[in-house]
Structure 1
Amino acid sequence: MVTQLLPEIGHFALILAACLACVQAVVPLVGAATRRPLWMSYAQPMAWGQFLFVLLAYACLTAGFMLDDFSVAYIANNSNSQLPWYFKFSAVWGSHEGSVLLWSLILAGWGFAVSLGARHLPRDMLARVLGIMGLISTGFLAFILLTSNPFARLLPDMPTDGADLNPLLQDIGLIIHPPMLYMGYVGFSVAFSFAMAALLGGRLDAAWARWARPWTNIAWAFLTVGIALGSWWAYYELGWGGWWFWDPVENASLMPWLAGTALIHSLAVTEKRGAFKSWTVLLSIFAFSLSLLGTFLVRSGVLTSVHAFASDPDRGLFILVLLGITVGGSLLLFALRAPRVRSTLGFHWLSRDAFLLVNNLILLVMMVTVLLGTLYPLVLDSLNLGKISVGPPYFNALFVPLTTLLCAFMGLGPSSRWKQMQGREIFRRLALSGVAALVIGGLLPLTLDIAWSASVALGLVIALWVVLPLLRDLWDKSASKAGRLAGLKRLTPSYWGMQLAHLGIAVTIVGVTLVSNTEVAENVRMTQGKVVTVGGYEFNMTQLGEYRGPNYLANRATVEVSREGKPVTVLHPEKRLFLASGMPMTETALDAGFTRDLYVAMGEKLDDGSWAVRIQVKPFVRWLWLGALLMGAGGVIAVLDRRYRRRVDPRPTSLTTEREVSV
């Protein structure tokens, strides 16, 4: 009996969560404005209650998937009795309604985490932060209840079986990619809430930046890893063999990442120098607003993409209104309060402050480049001015020089000082690194047994220019009378996180450079017993037969790979036909390695009985995702710094206060 009522329990839990979110949004903010401690104290229990009820609703929907409750429309449209249990679990967020519920759960979870992890904040500051998060939660819970109810019933005409989950989504990528991506998207709501709370409370100082930094770093780390997982998923699942397609939905996740990258650097300057305060607030607004824009693009139906949820325009209009209220309201508050912020601290153009500012500007230009390339075709289409496609040529032509310029300043940053330093000192610190990067980058392609080209050499020089100054800075900072080991132990987690994140950028650049310039790909005809040579490897299709999976039939090939007569690996590419939907899918076979991937994907069966097969040899492609993992790890390690757990003076400070924090 209880299991039959799970949808009603889940729906009721969402209604209660929305009520608690409204209380969380209104009472603490009013209490902070009128200095009523009792009203401010409502923030934490409301955040806890909201999280518990959204979690209950999510658990009810998950149980419905596991129990094959096809009386629920969302489950009937996105599951099937033959679907393996682990795909039923991930099918909860496999389409629109469930993914928005997951978004709301993660948003409530972030609020719960802030209520526990930021208890050292002044009471009024915490009340304002949780109040702003309550406002955001209210909007998304209203969106679910009014337009995207995942518990809508099909009674009395319920189907005997479900329509099945989209075969593209029946993959481990669906299990891990969306939650990681949403953790990053939604995590920027915390940075946004801190910025709005600081403006409301008049505490836009170094202390505010220190409070916001760990939450921003964690969100950025999740988003970095989430984007990398999406790239990896598309790489092996779609059968194209590319790692980034400049798809509009991919761009929707890249834009907040670029803004978030600028934000974490701007927060560092605000914390340590008390500068860039207005700029930091704007970046907080941009990062979260771009996350909402990505949500609108994916769910409005304006995009055609393998990643997009084709939803009705009414839902897109609701999110567009929510986006407008968020952006408009936050910019209005910024316009009213920011003029009172006066940064009197100056800096020389030869300083770390200046280099970080230039990097921020470059990141913002990159973000605007992606924004224009993504929205311009949509605007033209909506105005009936024609249909155009903005693809890789546009993005690559702009991103390559911008990334080169960005990395040039990245190399300068770690070796520079705050406020001011002499030009000859910068030259002395970086001359050896620059010469070494040029020499090693120019000669390294010859040692890697790949064809030398200017683009390959340039990419390696850029990567080395990022890494070698880091090593020089590490050498200088680890100097100690007690020895190098003691000096290394003295370095903070924040410093190690910076080192690791910048190293991740360099590793990713190496991967992008080598795979883009040296990969080999061929489309061939293959039959049983035929051998083809691609990229120095021999591919022999030794067997071809049928195979039955849990919910699909497949044509499965056995391809033996050798090089110079020596066996390398055996691959099993498949062409699957899913029984419930009748949809065909390519299952790529991969032999992954640290320095190269072997990639075989079956296409269609040809008239003469042979198969179209795409074979690729992709050098160093794994370094793309290794670099992203290093970046994410760097963001997490930086949060372990003890200064983020210090208690602070609870007395409020004015917007004009300048505070110097030691490096």
Structure 2
Amino acid sequence: MFTKMIPELGHFALIIALLMSAIQAVVPLAGAATRRPLWMAYARPMAVGQFAFLVVAYGCLTFSYMVDDFSVANVANNSNSMLPWYYKFSAVWGNHEGSVLLWSLMLAAWTFAVSVFSRNLPRDVLARVLGVMGLVSLGFLAFVLITSNPFERLLPNAPTDGADLNPLLQDFGLIIHPPMLYMGYVGFSVVFAFAIAALLGGRLDAAWARWARPWTNIAWSFLTVGIALGSWWAYYELGWGGWWFWDPVENASLLPWLAGTALIHSLAVTEKRGSFKSWTVLLAISTFSLSLLGTFLVRSGVLTSVHAFANDPSRGLFILALLGLTVGASLLLFALRAPRVSHQIGFSWLSRDALLLINNIVLVIITVTVLLGTVYPLLLDALNLGKISVGPPYFNALFVPLTVILCLFMGIGPLARWKRSDLGWLIRRTWLSGVVALVLAAVIPFIYDGEWNLQVSLGLAIALWIVLPMLRDLFDKSRHRHGRMAGLRRLSPAYWGMVLGHLGVAVSIIGVAVVSNYAIERNVRMAVGDSVQVAGYTFTMTELGSRRGPNFVADTARIKVQKGESQSHFVMSPEKRLYIARGMPMTDVALRPGLFRDLYLAMGEDLGDGSWAMRVQYKPFIRWLWLGALLMALGGVLAVADRRYRRTATATKVTGHSAGQGEQGAGANFQEART
């Protein structure tokens, strides 16, 4: 009997979490404004309590899926008794209601983490940060309970079985992709909360940047991995072998990543030099706003995409109102407060400061370009001004040259000095790298393919231009310094994080350049005994058969693959599946992955005479796309391990004396403690 009440328990836990988020939003912020320590002290227990009750709510929904409680509408619409348990687990967030609940749980987890790992922040700063995060939680929990209740019942007419999970989502990649993506999306709420807290408290200084920077790096790393997993899933699951199609929902995840990349670099300048303060705050607001925009695009019904969840306009209006309120109130506060708490610090236009500023400008232009191409067709349609389609030609024509410009400055940036650099000194440190990059970029295509390819040479030149100056810098830093061996091991984790991040960009660029120009695809008709040759490999169909899966039936093919004249071979087995509950066909591709190439087989349609349409693809260096993303994410995490961020807590504990401390007092004390 108790198990029948689990959905009601989860619903009740959601309501309690909503009430606790309201207290967390109102009381600590009021306490910080009126300097009442007792009110500010409510922030941490409310954050912990909200997280605990959301864990209970999410656990209750998961339990309902695992026991096939089809009296819950969410379970009945997205699960089935034949669904394997691991897909039931991922089905919890494979729908609109469950995904928004997961979003709220992730937000509560980030809030809980801030309350635990920021104990030594000044009391008023922590109260404001947790209060702002409570406001965001309040909006999303209200959204869940008002428009997207995951515990809605179908009683008394509960179905005997469910409609099954969308076959597109019955994949291992979808078990890990959404949580990673959401951790990135929601993680940017932390730096947003720090930015709003800094504006409210008038404490827009280097200390603020140092508090916010580790959280930004971690959120950016999660989002990087999430985007890479989404690209990987689209590559092998959709059956067409592509890895990025400029789908609007793909763009929705790319937008906050681009803005977050600019934010990471801007925070570095604010922390090191105390400049770009207002710009950094504006980037923090913009990054989280773009995360909310992505939520609106995916869940409003304005897009038709394999990635989109909802088609309910009322939900879209709620999220649009939440987005408008968040962006409007944040920008209004920025306009009122930023000029009072910011000041200019001079620098030369030939310095690391200036190069990072150019980096930010180019990244913002790229972000606006992608945003315009994504939103403009929607605006035209909404205003009844016609329908247009903006596809890869637009994005490639603008994104690629802007990325080239960005990478040119990326190669110089790590070598330049703060505040001022000498032009002759920079040229002496970079000219050899430039020459070597150009020579290698011109020669490698001849070695690889026997002929020159302009696009591949350009990609290789850009990638080498990023890597070679860093190698020069590493060499210089490992040489004797002041008569002692400095050694690579004495370089800080933050420096190694920068190296890995830039190396990841270079690796991804190589992957994009090579696979975009050297990939081979053939659509062929194959029956048992037929062979086809692609990129030096011979593919021979040896057998056709069928098999029964847990919730599907499948036609299968066995393809023997040999390279050249070699007698050794391996077997690839693509499938064409029909999912029983939904009657939906799906292609299950066969992959032979490798570091330098992938072989890709996909079954098309049965042509009726014992033969099948087959897609055979050779994808060189495609794994480098995702390897580069993983290196970038690892660089972001490694930078957080720098001991100066651990020292921040101690310095803050010494300097953060009282709840109403102003910018100059806290900032000056913090700088004194650093010195």
TM-score (norm 1): 0.98
What does residue 60 of structure 1 align with? 60
What does residue 162 of structure 2 align with? 162
What does residue 608 of structure 1 align with? 609
Cα offset for 1:485? Answer: 7.1
Letter paired with 1:618: K
**3-state secondary structure, aligned to 2:614:** strand
Give 1:72-221 correspondences, 5 Å limit.
72-221=72-221
Provide the rounded CA distance (Å) in 2 between the counterparts of 1:124 and 1:632: 32
Provide the rounded CA distance (Å) in 2 between the counterparts of 1:310 and 1:30: 37
What does residue 260 of structure 1 align with? 260
Partners of 2:203 and 2:341 within 8 A in 1: no
What does residue 385 of structure 2 align with? 385
* Number of residue-to-residue matches in the alignment: 663
What does residue 413 of structure 1 align with? 413
**3-state secondary structure, aligned to 2:90:** helix
What does residue 593 of structure 1 align with? 594
**3-state secondary structure, aligned to 1:584:** strand
CA-to-partner distance for each residue in 1:571-613, whole Å, 9 max, x for gaps? 0000000011110000000000000000000011114331111
**3-state secondary structure, aligned to 1:4:** helix
CA-to-partner distance for each residue in 1:6-56, whole Å, 9 max, x for gaps? 000000000000000000000000001111111111100000000000000
What does residue 281 of structure 2 align with? 281
1:291 aligns with 2:291: yes
Cα offset for 1:442? Answer: 1.2
Cα offset for 1:660? Answer: 6.8
What does residue 47 of structure 2 align with? 47
What does residue 430 of structure 1 align with? 430
Letter paired with 1:573: P
CA-to-partner distance for each residue in 1:112-149, whole Å, 9 max, x for gaps? 00000111110100000000000000000000000000
Partners of 2:202 and 2:341 within 8 A in 1: no
Partners of 2:302 and 2:311 within 8 A in 1: no
Partners of 1:187 and 1:215 within 8 A in 2: yes
1:650 aligns with 2:650: no
Provide the rounded CA distance (Å) in 1 between the counterparts of 2:210 and 2:545: 61
Letter paired with 1:89: F
Partners of 1:41 and 1:127 within 8 A in 2: yes
1:318 aligns with 2:327: no
Cα offset for 1:411? Answer: 0.3
Cα offset for 1:467? Answer: 0.4
What does residue 530 of structure 1 align with? 530
Cα offset for 1:535? Answer: 1.9
Provide the rounded CA distance (Å) in 2 between the counterparts of 1:559 and 1:31: 69
Provide the rounded CA distance (Å) in 2 between the counterparts of 1:390 and 1:178: 26
**Could you tell which deviates more after superposition, 107-116 or 439-448?**
439-448
What does residue 25 of structure 1 align with? 25
Provide the rounded CA distance (Å) in 1 between the counterparts of 2:41 and 2:342: 32
| Structure 1 residues 450 and 289: alpha-carbon distance in aligned structure 2, compared to 1, 3 A threshold | farther
Cα offset for 1:486? Answer: 4.6
What does residue 515 of structure 2 align with? 515
**Could you tell which deviates more after superposition, 277-286 or 375-384?**
375-384
CA-to-partner distance for each residue in 1:357-396, whole Å, 9 max, x for gaps? 0010000010001100001111111112211110000000
What does residue 581 of structure 2 align with? 580
Provide the rounded CA distance (Å) in 2 between the counterparts of 1:513 and 1:483: 44
**3-state secondary structure, aligned to 2:557:** strand
Cα offset for 1:480? Answer: 3.3
Provide the rounded CA distance (Å) in 2 between the counterparts of 1:251 and 1:142: 27
What does residue 402 of structure 2 align with? 402
Partners of 1:493 and 1:641 within 8 A in 2: yes
Provide the rounded CA distance (Å) in 1 between the counterparts of 2:335 and 2:344: 19
Cα offset for 1:487? Answer: 2.1
**3-state secondary structure, aligned to 1:448:** helix
Cα offset for 1:483? Answer: 9.0
CA RMSD of aligned residues (A): 1.5
**3-state secondary structure, aligned to 1:385:** coil
Provide the rounded CA distance (Å) in 1 between the counterparts of 2:385 and 2:323: 25
**3-state secondary structure, aligned to 2:396:** helix
Instruction: Give the share of equivalent positions with the same residue, in percent.
Output: 70
What does residue 622 of structure 1 align with? 623
**3-state secondary structure, aligned to 1:502:** helix
Cα offset for 1:198? Answer: 0.5
Structure 2 stretches lacking a partner, 5+ long: none
Letter paired with 1:12: F
Provide the rounded CA distance (Å) in 2 between the counterparts of 1:189 and 1:27: 19
Partners of 1:340 and 1:655 within 8 A in 2: no
Partners of 1:500 and 1:634 within 8 A in 2: yes
Partners of 1:202 and 1:655 within 8 A in 2: no
Provide the rounded CA distance (Å) in 2 between the counterparts of 1:546 and 1:482: 72
| Structure 1 residues 522 and 624: alpha-carbon distance in aligned structure 2, compared to 1, 3 A threshold | same
Cα offset for 1:488? Answer: 1.4
| Structure 1 residues 569 and 335: alpha-carbon distance in aligned structure 2, compared to 1, 3 A threshold | same
1:571 aligns with 2:566: no
TM-score (norm 2): 0.96
Cα offset for 1:565? Answer: 2.4
| Structure 1 residues 660 and 362: alpha-carbon distance in aligned structure 2, compared to 1, 3 A threshold | farther
Letter paired with 2:24: Q
Partners of 1:569 and 1:591 within 8 A in 2: no
**3-state secondary structure, aligned to 2:30:** helix
**3-state secondary structure, aligned to 2:487:** helix
Provide the rounded CA distance (Å) in 2 between the counterparts of 1:226 and 1:542: 38
| Structure 1 residues 284 and 538: alpha-carbon distance in aligned structure 2, compared to 1, 3 A threshold | same
**3-state secondary structure, aligned to 2:581:** coil
Partners of 1:341 and 1:655 within 8 A in 2: no
Cα offset for 1:445? Answer: 1.9
What does residue 475 of structure 2 align with? 475
Provide the rounded CA distance (Å) in 1 between the counterparts of 2:376 and 2:80: 39
CA-to-partner distance for each residue in 1:411-447, whole Å, 9 max, x for gaps? 0101100000111011011111111111111112223
Cα offset for 1:174? Answer: 1.1
Provide the rounded CA distance (Å) in 2 between the counterparts of 1:633 and 1:354: 26
